[in-house]
């Protein structure tokens, strides 16, 4: 919906689209409509319906919409239509007229590919520029002439410093996934780029959330923008019923084993597993590969070549699992995904909705699996409140369930062979054995071989069940009964556990009174703790950084030492408070 809709009869043309539907009703013309028809686009999405008319009219715009709502076409089509009015011989060799800024390399590639497809009919020249790519190739393309630049802020500034990116001809600038760019520390880079652009330009800002920092940028750089907010009830909420949302409550030290069991039961064609940290991605990928899965890792610590190779393996079917951090997976569009897994509960409900929105698109069914620790009940409730849907709570599959499931898979594979009639070449083996053995016995032996070759040995160790902490009177009564039983047997409650509910097995989470707004990054915490307390890097983590605070996991027996060592340490120019996490 438009928060400040203009008069339908206003001369600037920013009017609601006609109800008769179709892209032509939005004001698009023959320069882009034939290509949309060729691509199979029939009806615009809500964000396209609301954004395209004011953008065609030259208005600045703020659009709040989640991933997967069609934002790229919403800003790309007006840019291309405006570009089509300039003759190709005039455009050739000219400076770019549009700049799209995105947070990640993957999103730069994805957006540039989409704009290239939409603009094929007018010969639009689109160039993605990002770090990790040979700069010589970018310099050659820029020298030949480009119409639309899709760039990460850091590489755009790099080219500006080299005077290889000319901004004097920019007529439109788009900030896509603006909140992500700010979360990744690009605020100063964005300000520098926007300040260098011609003042008489169109500025478009898209963001999934609207924190104060986004509002500040909008006030400073946008002129009387049209504000569009696509309510989740009109987009993501409609898609959620197509996604089966399942949650398992698991203690942290059993999560990797539990995930393996769950994947064995689900048998996903292609799954994206979200983890909080790079270390967690690498460790979990190694664990799942050892279990027989073809898992690929994706995070910011990898080179562009490694990232491209991992995505290529998933898209081609060579790999069936991709493990990634939120930032690394931002903007990825993997059409064949059947499952999304949250190895940890996202701290923000919006992040959860973004993640599961990657499956269940275009009418397809998908599965969203969340592994929740007992202490994460509040985050689960927040997600249920935002999505207006309850999680289906299930128990981790037992050894018996897993054996039964693997037997079902063996039966299904045999059934496929029988229906396809592919067993005829082996009739001679059956006939030669039938003289010595009963045919049923031969069949059972064959099934045994098929089962053993396709299904690894089942781990015979059961995974302990867990339940949400603080989720009601029953849990409180259970804790009271447990404490009473200890006292009856003469055992005193462990004081360390009483004052340290952040303790998880042999690790403890510490609260650090500084976060994103203070410029704190994971490497700052690791460096400070390792330098002051003498811990090794592998002992520190996972790390969770929020706007005003951070949480870091350390060995439980070293927690007090870390707290004492960090009492007078300054991080990013200020002393920070550090203590055990409170619940």
Task: Please write the tens of the pLDDT for every residue from 342-373.
Answer: 999 887 777 788 788 778 665 567 899 999 98
Measured CA distances, 355 to 52, 246, 341 (Å): 26, 14, 9
**More confident site: 218 or 88:** 218
Q: Looking at residue 128, what is its pLDDT?
A: 94
Q: How many CB atoms lie within 10 A of CB 484?
A: 10
**More confident site: 459 or 29:** 29
pLDDT tens per residue across span 524-578: 788 788 777 888 777 887 888 877 788 888 888 888 888 888 877 777 767 788 8
Looking at the predicted structure, is the pLDDT value of residue 337 above 70?
A: yes
Q: Looking at residue 569, what is its pLDDT?
A: 75
Task: Please report the domains of the chain, with CATH numbers, ordered by start residue.
Answer: 23-230 (3.40.50.300), 239-394 (3.40.50.300), 400-454 (no CATH), 494-580 (3.30.70.330)
Q: Name the token pair of 430.
A: 């059956």
Q: How many CB atoms lie within 10 A of CB 96?
A: 24
pLDDT tens per residue across span 488-514: 333 333 333 333 334 444 788 888 888
**More confident site: 16 or 146:** 146
Mean pLDDT for the stretch of residues 15-43: 74
Q: Name the token pair of 470.
A: 């603080």
Mean pLDDT for the stretch of residues 321-334: 76
Measured CA distances, 295 to 311, 313, 421 (Å): 11, 9, 33
Q: Do residues 271 and 284 make contact, with C-beta atoms less than 8 angstroms apart?
A: no
pLDDT tens per residue across span 231-263: 644 334 444 447 889 999 998 888 988 998 899
Residue 100 bridge partners (DSSP): 150, 174
Looking at the predicted structure, is the pLDDT value of residue 39 above 90?
A: no
Tell me the longest C-alpha to C-alpha distance in the chain. 92
Banded model confidence at residue 87, pLDDT cuts 50, 70, 90: low
Beta-sheet strands, E only, within 208-364: 226-229, 243-249, 271-275, 295-298, 321-325, 339-342
Q: Name the token pair of 531.
A: 């330098």
Which of 538, 546, 540 lies closest to 566 in space, CA to CA? 540
**More confident site: 542 or 157:** 157
pLDDT tens per residue across span 263-310: 988 888 889 999 988 888 888 988 888 777 889 998 877 887 888 888
Q: Looking at residue 4, what is its pLDDT?
A: 41
Q: Name the token pair of 567.
A: 């009492």
Q: Do residues 12 and 57 make contact, with C-beta atoms less than 8 angstroms apart?
A: yes
What is the DSSP code (8-state) at residue 2? B
**More confident site: 159 or 93:** 159
Q: With helix as H, strand as E and coil as C, how does 479-494 read?
A: HHHHHHHHHHCCCCCC
Q: Looking at residue 330, what is its pLDDT?
A: 67
pLDDT tens per residue across span 379-437: 888 888 878 888 999 888 887 777 777 777 778 778 777 777 777 788 888 888 888 88
Looking at the predicted structure, is the pLDDT value of residue 145 above 50?
A: yes
Q: Do residues 242 and 366 make contact, with C-beta atoms less than 8 angstroms apart?
A: yes
Q: Please, what is the angle between helix 46-56 and helix 71-84, to 10°?
A: 30
Model confidence, pTM: 0.49
The pLDDT > 70 percentage for the chain reads 81
Question: Strand, helix or coil at 464?
Answer: coil
Q: How far apart are CA 293 and CA 319, in angstroms?
A: 8
Banded model confidence at residue 14, pLDDT cuts 50, 70, 90: very low
Is 12 exposed, middle or buried, given 0-12, 13-18 or 19+ CB atoms closer than 10 A? Answer: middle
Containing H/E element for 394? Answer: strand 392-394
Q: Looking at residue 374, what is its pLDDT?
A: 86
**More confident site: 149 or 515:** 149
Q: With helix as H, strand as E and coil as C, how does 197-218 read?
A: CCCCCEEEEEECCCCHHHHHHH
| HSE-CB of 449 using CA atoms within 13 angstroms | 5
Looking at the predicted structure, is the pLDDT value of residue 134 above 50?
A: yes
Measured CA distances, 162 to 135, 199, 321, 537 (Å): 11, 22, 40, 37
Measured CA distances, 309 to 107, 112, 184, 298, 304 (Å): 16, 19, 24, 10, 8
């Amino acid at each position: 919906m438009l928060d400040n809709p203009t008069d339908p009869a206003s001369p600037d043309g920013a009017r609601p689209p006609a109800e008769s539907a179709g892209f032509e009703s939005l004001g698009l013309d023959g320069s882009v409509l034939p290509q949309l028809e060729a691509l199979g686009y029939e009806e615009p999405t809500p964000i396209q319906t609301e954004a395209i008319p004011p953008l065609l009219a030259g208005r600045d715009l703020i659009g709040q919409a989640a991933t997967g709502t069609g934002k790229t076409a919403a800003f790309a089509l007006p840019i291309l239509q405006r570009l089509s009015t300039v003759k190709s011989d005039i455009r050739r060799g000219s400076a770019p007229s549009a700049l799209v800024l995105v947070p990640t390399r993957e999103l730069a590639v994805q957006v540039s590919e989409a704009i290239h497809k939409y603009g094929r009919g007018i010969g639009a020249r689109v160039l993605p520029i990002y770090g990790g790519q040979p700069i010589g190739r970018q310099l050659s393309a820029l020298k030949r002439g480009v119409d639309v630049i899709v760039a990460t802020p850091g590489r755009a500034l790099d080219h500006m410093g080299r005077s290889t990116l000319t901004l004097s001809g920019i007529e439109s600038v788009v900030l896509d996934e603006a909140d992500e760019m700010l979360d990744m520390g690009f605020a100063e880079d964005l300000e520098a780029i926007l300040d260098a652009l011609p003042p008489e330009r169109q500025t478009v800002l898209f963001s999934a959330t609207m924190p104060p920092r986004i509002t500040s940028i909008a006030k400073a750089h946008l002129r009387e923008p049209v504000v569009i907010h696509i309510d989740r009830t009109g987009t993501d909420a409609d898609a959620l019923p197509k996604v089966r949302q399942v949650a398992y409550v698991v203690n942290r030290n059993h999560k990797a084993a539990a995930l393996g069991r769950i994947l064995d039961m689900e048998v996903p064609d292609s799954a994206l597993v979200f983890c909080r940290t790079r270390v967690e991605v690498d460790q979990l990928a190694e664990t799942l590969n050892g279990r027989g899965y073809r898992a690929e890792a994706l995070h910011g610590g990898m080179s562009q070549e490694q990232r491209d190779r991992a995505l290529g393996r998933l898209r081609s079917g060579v790999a069936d699992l991709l493990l990634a951090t939120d930032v690394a997976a931002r903007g990825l569009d993997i059409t064949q995904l059947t499952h999304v897994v949250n190895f940890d509960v996202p701290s923000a409900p919006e992040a959860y909705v973004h993640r599961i929105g990657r499956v269940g698109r275009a009418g397809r069914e998908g599965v969203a699996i969340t592994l929740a620790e007992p202490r994460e009940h509040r985050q689960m409730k927040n997600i249920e409140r935002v999505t207006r849907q309850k999680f289906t709570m299930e128990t981790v599959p037992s050894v018996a369930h897993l054996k039964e499931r693997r037997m079902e898979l063996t039966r299904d594979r045999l059934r496929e062979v029988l229906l396809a009639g592919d067993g005829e070449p082996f009739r001679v083996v059956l006939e030669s054995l039938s003289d010595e053995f009963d045919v049923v016995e031969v069949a059972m032996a064959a099934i045994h071989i098929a089962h053993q070759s396709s299904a690894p040995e089942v781990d015979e160790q059961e995974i302990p069940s867990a339940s949400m902490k603080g989720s009601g009177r029953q849990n409180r009564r259970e804790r009271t009964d447990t404490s009473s039983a200890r006292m009856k047997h003469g055992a005193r409650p462990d004081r360390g556990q009483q004052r340290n509910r952040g303790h998880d097995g042999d690790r403890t989470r510490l609260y650090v009174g500084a976060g994103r707004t203070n410029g704190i990054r994971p490497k700052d915490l690791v460096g400070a703790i390792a330098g002051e307390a003498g811990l090794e890097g592998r002992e520190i983590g996972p790390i969770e950084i929020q706007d005003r605070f951070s949480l870091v996991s350390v060995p439980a027996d070293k927690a007090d030492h870390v707290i004492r060592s960090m009492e007078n340490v300054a991080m990013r120019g200020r002393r920070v408070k550090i203590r055990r996490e409170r619940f």
